[in-house]
Structure 1
Amino acid sequence: MIGKVPDQGKSFRGVVNYLLFGKKDEPSPERVAWVETRNLLVTDPKKAATLMRLTAQKSKRVKTPVYHYVISWRHDEAPTDDIMRIVADTTCQDLGLDEHQMLYVAHRDTDHRHVHIVANRVHPDTGRAWKNSHDYRRIECSLRRQAEGMGMDYVPGRHNDPERFHGKSRAPANPERQRNRRLKQRDLPRFDEATRSKHRERLHQLVLGASSWADLDSQLASEGFAVLRKGQGLVLADASGTMKLSDLGRDIRLKGLEERFAGSFADHEEERKQQQAMQKALVPSRPKTVERQPEPPADKPAEVPPPGPKPKEPNQSAERFEALKDAGDKADMTYSLYNMGLASREQVKNAARELKQAREKLDEGRPLIEQLTRDMFKEKELEPEPRAEPSRQRRRDRGRGR
C-alpha cells in the first residue's frame, strides 16, 4: 500500500466532479466503483460537496478547506471493498479526521485498486480547522502498520522505514522540472487514450526487441521518442507529450528491464549525462559579438517608448454572478435541510436575505437603461378609476336639452 497527497483543489465541487466524471475533455464516469460518505447527512456525492462547502463557511480564516489524498494497492493485490473502507477509515482516524466530513470514491480504471478520500478540514461542530502539517509522514506510518497487520506489502519510505534510508541522501532534483519552473513552463502533458493506443504496439515491439539501455535509446530515437525518469518509474516522451512505461503492457516494468539489460537505469542515465557533457565540451563555442548601438544625434531627442498596456481590471460582473450562484445553492440546500427538520426557519430567512443581497449587487453592475427597463416591468400597472354613473336628475336634464 502507498498513500499519495496530490495537488489540493480549490473547491469541493471541482474535486468531486473530477473524481466522479473525470476530465471535461475526456469524461469517464464508468471508472467509479463505489462511493460512500462519512459524518454527512446525505449520500448523494453532489449534495455532499454542497454540504461540505456550507460547513466550511463556519471558519472565516480557512482559505483551503479541501483535503484530498489517495490510497493505492499493488497491481497483483485485490483487496475487497470492505478492506478498502477499513483502511480508509483507519487512516483518517490516525490523521485525526474521524470526526470530519469525508467522501470516499473508489476507482477501477487502472491496474491497481485505489480509493480517493476528500475531507473537510473544518470541523462540523466546533468550526476549527484541522492542521495538515506532516500529513504524509502520518499516512506512511499508518499504512505500514495496517499492511503488516493484513499481510500486504507496503512501499518503504523515509518515515515508515527510516532504517533502510538511514545515511542515504535524498533523490536528486529533476533538472528538467526545475528548468520548467524557472522558465514558468508546464511539464509535458500525458497522452490521451487515443494517442497511447496509436503508439502502444510499435513502442511495445521496440522495447521487447532492445538488448540494452543504449540499444533502447537508439531505437526510440528513430521514432522520435526518449525514455526518461519520472518519479519512481519511467516515461516515454516526445515533443508533444509522455506516456508511462507501464502503458505498454503488464509485461514491461522497470525492474524487469533492469534484470534483462543487467544494469540499472540510474547507471545508464549517469553514463548518458557524461556522454552529453563530453560532446558539448568537444564542440568549440563561437565568440559572442557585441553590436554597438548607434547613438542618436544631439539635435534629435531620444524616443520615449510608448506606455505599456494597462493592467486588466478584475471582472466584477463574473465575481458577482458567482456570488449569486453560491447564494442560490446555499438557499436551496438550507431549504432542503429545513424540510428535513435539520434547519430552522431563521436560517432559511438568512439564506433568502443573502440571496436577495447578491441579486442587488449583481443589478448594480448592469447598465442604467437595463435597470430602468427591468424596474418598469416590475412596477404594477395602474388601473383607471371606475367611471361614476350619472344620476337620474342629470339624465333628465340631458333629455330636455339643458
Structure 2
Amino acid sequence: MIVKHIPARPAGRNATIERARHARNLVDYLRQPEKQSAEKDYQVAYMLREGLGDTKGERLFHIGARNFVSTDIAGQRAEMIAIAQMASRSPNPIDHWLLSWREGELPTPAEIDETVAMFLEHLGVDNQPCIYACHGDTDNRHVHLALNRYDPLSERMVEINDGFTREAAHQAIALIVDQFGWQAEADARYSVVNGRLVTAASAAAKRKEGRKPVSPKATAFENRTGYRSAQRIVQEDAVPRIKAARSWSDLHATLAEVGIRYDIVGTNGVTLTVDDERVKASSIDRAITRTQVEKRLGPFEPRSETIRDVPRNPLWIGVEKGPR
C-alpha cells in the first residue's frame, strides 16, 4: 500500500474563487470519476506520471464522508465549498491524499471506511470535514481523500505533525497495513513490531549508508506490478559491484555481467542504464557517483568497446514479490 499527497491544479489570481473552484471540482471528480472534466484530465495525467497506472476508465466503488452536518453528498459538497471559502488566509485549504492498494487487494467498503478513519486519526485531523471515494478497475483500487484542514472555530488551518506531514502519512500506512494484513510498499519507511511503530530496517540501513529511497514513481510501479523497478535493480545489482570494483575496467566488466552500463553524462553526471531505462547515480547512492568512485579508482576510464553486455534474464528485471 502506498500514500501520495497530490498537489492541486495551478490556481488563478482570485484566491476566493479558486478555493471554491478547487473544492467543487475535486469533490465532483471523487463522486463521478467516469465523467470527463479538466480535473479528471489533471488527475489521470498525475497518476500516469507517478506510475500509478492507466486510470482513464476508473469507476466509483465506494464513497463516504466524515464530519458534515449534511447527510447527502450534495449537501456535503456545499459545506466543503463554504468552509473552503472561509479560509481567507490560505490559497488552498483542501489536501488531496491518495491511498493505493496493490493489484489484487480488494478492500470492502467497511475496510475502506476504517482505513480512512485510521489515516485521519493518526494525522490528527479526524475532526475535519473529509469526503473520500474509492476508484479503480476490477483489480486495482485506490481511495482519494479531499480533506479540508480549515477549522472555522479557531479560524486557523490545522497543522499536521508540526509540518512533518508525509512522515505522519507513512506512519499511518504502516499501522493500516499491519491492521489488515495488506502488503506494504517495498521501501516502506515504517513498520509495526509488537504493536509499536518503528523505522523499517531497510530504511534505517539506507539512511546509515547514505543510500536514497526508491522514488515514489518507481515504488508505485513495483506496488502495481510486483516487479523490481530499474532504480531497485541498480540499487541491488549494481551498487555492490561498483563498491567492490578494483579498477574502472573491473567496474565496467562486472556491471556488463548483469546487463548494466555506467556512463558519464555532461561534466560529472553519471547514469546507469538498465535495458532502455536510465537511472541517475546520484538518485541511488552517493558512493557510486563519479566523484566518489574516482577517489577509489582514479580518473574515469570509459568502457572498452570489447565488453559486451550479458542479456538480462527476465527474472532479473523483476521478481514478483510474495507476501511479506
Q: 1:32 to 1:99 in 2, by over 3 A?
A: same
Mapped contact 1:36–1:43 kept (Cα < 8 A):
no
3-state SS in 1 of match to 2:150:
coil
Matching residue of 1:17: 28
Amino acid at match of 2:203: F
Structure 2 length-normalised TM: 0.53
Matching residue of 1:6: 6
Amino acid at match of 1:112: N
Q: How many residues align?
A: 212
Matches within 5 A, 1:204-215: none
Q: Quick check: 1:105 aligned with 2:78?
A: no
Q: 1:16 to 1:157 in 2, by over 3 A?
A: same
Amino acid at match of 1:21: P
Q: Per-residue displacement from partner, 1:175-197 (whole Å, max 9, x unpaired)?
A: xxxxxxxxxxxxxxxxxxxxxxx
Q: Per-residue displacement from partner, 1:64-112 (whole Å, max 9, x unpaired)?
A: 1011111222223222110111010111011111111110111123633
Question: What residue ranges of structure 2 are gaps of 5+ in the alignment?
Answer: 12-21, 42-55, 192-198, 240-254, 271-299, 305-324
Question: What residue ranges of structure 1 are gaps of 5+ in the alignment?
Answer: 175-228, 235-243, 283-402
3-state SS in 2 of match to 1:68:
strand
Q: Quick check: 1:271 aligned with 2:260?
A: yes
Deviation at 1:30, TM superposition (A): 6.2
Q: Quick check: 1:254 aligned with 2:227?
A: yes
Matching residue of 2:99: 71
Matches within 5 A, 1:191-202: none
Amino acid at match of 2:212: A
Matching residue of 2:189: 158
Distance across 1 between alignment mates of 2:27 and 2:219: 27
3-state SS in 2 of match to 1:274:
strand
Distance across 1 between alignment mates of 2:213 and 2:140: 28
Deviation at 1:55, TM superposition (A): 1.4
Mapped contact 2:174–2:190 kept (Cα < 8 A):
no
Match of 1:135 among 138, 143, 165: 165
Match of 1:231 among 205, 212, 218: 218
Q: Per-residue displacement from partner, 1:131-169 (whole Å, max 9, x unpaired)?
A: 142111111112212322333322243355343222132
Distance across 2 between alignment mates of 1:149 and 1:173: 25
3-state SS in 2 of match to 1:21:
coil
Deviation at 1:36, TM superposition (A): 1.2
Deviation at 1:265, TM superposition (A): 8.2
Distance across 1 between alignment mates of 2:261 and 2:183: 34
Q: 1:139 to 1:73 in 2, by over 3 A?
A: same
More strand by share: 2
Deviation at 1:39, TM superposition (A): 1.1
3-state SS in 2 of match to 1:57:
helix
Q: Quick check: 1:169 aligned with 2:210?
A: yes
Distance across 2 between alignment mates of 1:122 and 1:231: 33
Structure 1 length-normalised TM: 0.44
Mapped contact 1:16–1:46 kept (Cα < 8 A):
no
Q: 1:21 to 1:78 in 2, by over 3 A?
A: closer
- Higher Cα Rg: structure 1 or 2? 1
Mapped contact 1:101–1:123 kept (Cα < 8 A):
no
Mapped contact 2:23–2:81 kept (Cα < 8 A):
yes
Q: 1:139 to 1:61 in 2, by over 3 A?
A: same
Q: 1:109 to 1:125 in 2, by over 3 A?
A: farther
Distance across 2 between alignment mates of 1:89 and 1:61: 28
Distance across 1 between alignment mates of 2:230 and 2:25: 39
3-state SS in 2 of match to 1:51:
helix
Q: Per-residue displacement from partner, 1:27-46 (whole Å, max 9, x unpaired)?
A: 86861112111111234445
Distance across 2 between alignment mates of 1:271 and 1:141: 35
3-state SS in 1 of match to 2:260:
helix
Q: 1:6 to 1:264 in 2, by over 3 A?
A: farther
Distance across 2 between alignment mates of 1:18 and 1:81: 19
